[in-house]
Amino acid sequence: MTSPALRPADAAACAVALAEAARDGRTVRVRGAGTKSYLGELVGTDSVLETTAIAGIVDHVPADLTVTVRAGTSFADLQAALRERGQFLPLDPPHADGATLGGIVAANSNGFSRLRYGGVRHLLIGTVAALVDGTVMRAGGRVVKNVAGYDLNKLLIGSLGTLGVVTETTWKVLPLPKARALTVARCATAADAFAIADALVRTPLRPSALVVDGTRRAWAAIVAAQGEPAAVGRAMDEAGRAAARGGARSDRTDDDEQVLAPLRDLPGTATDGALVRASLPLAAQASFVAAALGLEPFARCVADAGSGIVRIHLRGDDGAVLRAADTLMAGARSVGCSARVERRDDALRDRLASWGPAPGGDFLMRRIREAFDPARTLEPARSIVR
């Protein structure tokens, strides 16, 4: 039975709580807002450590385009505070309304805007983390160009709380874009939609999103742009021309969030069946999607064509979902790419593993984890390395 939640108020208290748990042989799950609790393998732990009390903006220097914020702060609250100063953190992760900054780092949670602005690993410039030996680790700094020491930030990104508890983060921020717009090209087939995406990615445009979305019945290539009004206008004109060349009808809107938010939040809404996430080059995405539809006719596909992340929501009967998920993950690995089950229905959890076979180089990941948490105090079964 899990004991009452631990709610430390700062990094030092967090480190003490972790050291006590390690000393007593207790296992700990780290939790922010809980928006990504479906990720990985979930096995009961003795304690849950919540970071929501470690919240608030520590420092914001608009002239330097940096902000330091405690990890339990919600992404939405940070964006609201930055907006008042005419700036924003150019991430658009799933669960943006509820996710915490620490959770975004731990899950390496990115959205479609990575194509233009980069992801967590590009925008995060400093971290503070509590470790199970009772120490507090500081990595990076509060300036954009910092060359001191190893880039330990990268180890924490995507670690799912298995190496330490992130308690503070420093980010690069940008001025708010003056204009934003989006074009949807409605296509007859997935191949048509991917052809339009391929044509656009080869242009000098810098879209803020390039997405292919669809099921067997309908497909769309979606391109969004942010920035100076003239540049946004040129991007939308080029998107319209690419759609016309591909025989697609296109529509333009200035409300890009209305279109993109439901697609970005698919990990939060795909609560039935299974959600397979693969990382693939654009040239391989169309065939991967075609294979998914051949395996499971009710599948929904959302491909971040710019960054290579393809999500397939498998929604048929359990047997079909299991076979399709296994086949898709094996297919991605066979061409040197990665894939995992990002989410699955509780009824499938015991029959469908999140990770599949360990990747090459897993011994390095194991050595790192042994260095940070030799007793497996933190999330002992959640990551691919146990």
pLDDT tens by residue, the chain, 386 residues: 456 789 999 999 999 999 999 999 999 999 999 999 999 887 889 999 999 999 999 999 999 999 999 999 999 999 999 999 999 999 999 999 999 999 999 999 999 999 999 999 999 999 999 999 999 999 987 665 554 555 788 899 999 999 999 999 999 999 999 999 999 999 999 999 999 999 998 888 889 999 999 998 899 999 999 999 999 999 999 999 999 999 999 999 999 999 999 999 999 999 999 999 999 998 899 999 999 999 999 999 999 998 999 999 999 899 999 999 999 999 998 888 999 999 999 899 889 999 877 666 677 888 989 999 999 999 877 776 66
What is the value of pTM for the model shown? 0.93
Cβ contacts of residue 287 below 8 Å, gap of 6+?
none
Q: Which two tokens stand for residue 322?
A: 């299991």
Vertex 39: Cα angle to 36 and 42 (nearest 5)? 115
Cβ contacts of residue 102 below 8 Å, gap of 6+?
32, 51, 54, 71, 72, 165, 166, 167, 169
Contact 305, 345 (CB under 8 A): no
Q: Could you give all domains of the chain from N- to C-terminal order, each with its CATH number?
A: 11-175 (3.30.465.10), 179-348 (3.40.462.10)
The CA–CA distances, whole Å, from 165 to 18, 101, 205, 249 equal 9, 12, 39, 48
